[in-house]
Amino acid sequence: MADLVLRSSRGLRGTVTPPGDKSLSHRAVMFAALAEGKTLIEGFLTGEDTRNTARAMQSLGISVEGAETGRLVVHGKGLDGLSEPAGVLDLGNSGTGMRLLAGLLAGQDFFSILTGDRYLVKRPMARVVDPLRQMGAVIDGRSGGKYAPLAIRGGGGNLRPLEYASPVASAQVKSALLLCGLYADGATSVTEPHKSRDHTERMLRFFGVDIQEKGLRVSVQGRQKLRAAGTLQVPSDISSAAFFMVAAVIVPGSDILIKNVGVNPTRTGVIDILKQMGANITLDDPREQAGEPVADIRVRSGALRAVRIEGEVIPRAIDEIPILSVAAAYAAGTTVIKDAAELRVKESDRIAAMATELRKMGAPVKELPDGMEITGAESLAGAVCESHGDHRIAMSLAVAGLAARGETVVRDTEWVETSFPGFERMLKQVAY
Ligand code: S3P
C-alpha cells in the first residue's frame, strides 16, 4: 500500500499540464469504436479507469493501439461492428466505464457480462438497468440487477426508443440511454432535474451525429452513423486541475498556471464556487478542441470566505466537492454544502470520508444527509489520513496536507492511479 507524505508548503509556483480528461477519454475510445474508420485520440488519459475501457473495447473486437501512451489509434467498425466478447468485461473502479458500456451493450444483439472491483460492485446500477430494460434489453445482476456483475442480453433489432425523465442529474444515465438509443428505431429522449455534463452530446456531434437539446431534454434519433473523427484531442481534466487550483489558493505565496484545461460550462462549477469564495482565478487564451472549450487557468493564493454550495451548481461540481471541502476548511466562516446526496454513492461515500478525515486534521465538520457544514480555520494540523479507496479523497487530503502545520500522511494512495497517474510527481514539482 502506498503512502503519500506531505509537509507544509511555502507556495506553489510554475506551470502544470494535468492528464487528459477522464470523462472524455472513456467516451472517445467508445465512440471511435462505433465510427466507421480510424480515429487518432491524443491526450487520452492513461489512468487505470480509461485503460480498462480501452481493454473492454478490444474484447468487443475493436483494434485499439497505444492505451499506455496516451496516443490511441482506434479502428472503428461502425455502429454494428462490435462482436460478442469471449470473457467477462472488467471495468475496475469505473462507474462511467460500467454504466456507459451497459447502455452500449444493451443495444447489441449479443450477450455480455460487466463486472468491477470491490467498490464498483457496491455502486447502484438500477439507475441504468431499469430504463435499459424498458428499452427492451434483458439484464440481470446481483439483487435483481441493482448491482454488478451485470449480465446483458442486448435488445438488438427489437429495441424500443424511450422518453425518460431521470430522477437524478447523471451524465452516466443520460449517456447510457443515448448510446442505447442509437440502436433503437425512433427518437430516445432523456430529461434531467438539473443539467449534467454534456460531453456525450458534444462528442457524438463531433462524430457527426445529430443530437437535439431543448432545456433539460436531450434526444437522439436511432440508427445514425458515426463518422470517423480524424484526430480527437482530449484536453486536461478540470477535475484533476482542481487539486492544483485549491492548493494554489490555500497555500500562501502561490502563483501557478494550469495549461490546456477543459472548461466546459457543465464542469466549471469548481471555478465559479472558488471565485465566489474570493479566489484569484483567471482563464487565459480560451479556445476550442474537439467541440469542447479549453483554456489555461492562472491561480494565485488569497483569503477565502465561506459560501453556500447547493442546487444547479452541484452536478457541475460533483467530483470537486471533496477538494472544495478542503477549500472550505481554510475559509472564514461556515460553508454549507447541500443537495449532494449523490456523493454517498461515488467511489466511496465522499461525505463520510471527507468529514472523518478533515476532523482528524482539526476542522469542525458536521455531516448532513446530503452534504456537510464545514467551519474554516487559519490552518489545520497534519494527521495520518486514509484514502477510503478513493482517488479523489486521497488527492484532496494531500492538498489539505500542503497547507497544514507539520506532516500529513495519506495512506493507501495507489487509487490515485485510476484518474491521475503522476500526481505526486506533478505536485512536488510545483510545491516548494
Ligand atoms: C461522469 C459523470 C459523473 C461523475 C463521474 C464521471 C461521466 O457521474 O461523477 O466521475 O463521465 O459521465 P454521474 O453521471 O453519475 O453524476
User: For ligand 1, is residue 318 a contact (CB within 6 Å)?
Assistant: yes
CA distances from 285 to 42, 217, 225, 255, 297 (A): 20, 32, 34, 17, 9
**What confidence category does residue 49 fall into, taking pLDDT thresholds of 50, 70 and 90?**
very high
User: For ligand 1, is residue 171 a contact (CB within 6 Å)?
Assistant: yes
Query: Residues 80-85: what's their mean pLDDT?
Result: 98
Q: Which of 197, 240, 312, 343 to mutate to test the pocket of ligand 1 (most atoms within 8 A of CB)?
A: 197
List pLDDT tens digits, range 210-225. Answer: 999 999 999 999 999 9
Q: Is 185 a catalytic residue?
A: no
User: For ligand 1, is residue 245 a contact (CB within 6 Å)?
Assistant: no
Rounded CA separation 420/166 (Å):
30
**What confidence category does residue 402 fall into, taking pLDDT thresholds of 50, 70 and 90?**
very high
Rounded CA separation 46/323 (Å):
22
pLDDT of residue 157: 82
Looking at ligand 1, which residue's alpha carbon is closest to its atom 15? 170
Q: What atom of ligand 1 comes closest to residue 342's alpha carbon?
A: 16
Rounded CA separation 352/372 (Å):
9
Q: Which three cell numbers stand for residue 306?
A: 465561506
List pLDDT tens digits, range 251-298. Answer: 999 999 999 999 999 999 999 999 999 999 999 999 999 999 999 999
Query: H/E element holding 4?
Result: strand 4-7
Q: Is the pTM of this model over 0.75?
A: yes
Amino acid symbol at 81: G
Q: Which of 91, 129, 172 to mutate to test the pocket of ligand 1 (most atoms within 8 A of CB)?
A: 172
Query: Residues 93-115: what's their mean pLDDT?
Result: 98
User: For ligand 1, is residue 23 a contact (CB within 6 Å)?
Assistant: yes
Of 21, 90, 198, 319, catalytic: 319
Q: What atom of ligand 1 comes closest to residue 175's alpha carbon?
A: 12
Contact 242, 267 (CB under 8 A): no
User: For ligand 1, is residue 196 a contact (CB within 6 Å)?
Assistant: yes
**What confidence category does residue 23 fall into, taking pLDDT thresholds of 50, 70 and 90?**
very high
Residue 379 has pLDDT above 90, yes or no: no
Query: Residues 156-177: what's their mean pLDDT?
Result: 96
Spacing, Cα 224 to ligand 1 middle (Å) = 25
- Looking at every residue in the chain, the average pLDDT score rounds to 97
User: For ligand 1, is residue 170 a contact (CB within 6 Å)?
Assistant: yes
Residue 1 has pLDDT above 80, yes or no: no
pLDDT of residue 156: 85
Contact 177, 190 (CB under 8 A): yes
User: For ligand 1, is residue 347 a contact (CB within 6 Å)?
Assistant: no
Amino acid symbol at 399: V
Residue 151 has pLDDT above 80, yes or no: yes
Residue 131 has pLDDT above 80, yes or no: yes
Q: What atom of ligand 1 comes closest to residue 169's alpha carbon?
A: 16
Query: H/E element holding 120?
Result: none
User: For ligand 1, is residue 319 a contact (CB within 6 Å)?
Assistant: yes
Q: What atom of ligand 1 comes closest to residue 319's alpha carbon?
A: 9
Q: What atom of ligand 1 comes closest to residue 318's alpha carbon?
A: 9
User: For ligand 1, is residue 50 a contact (CB within 6 Å)?
Assistant: no
Spacing, Cα 185 to ligand 1 middle (Å) = 27
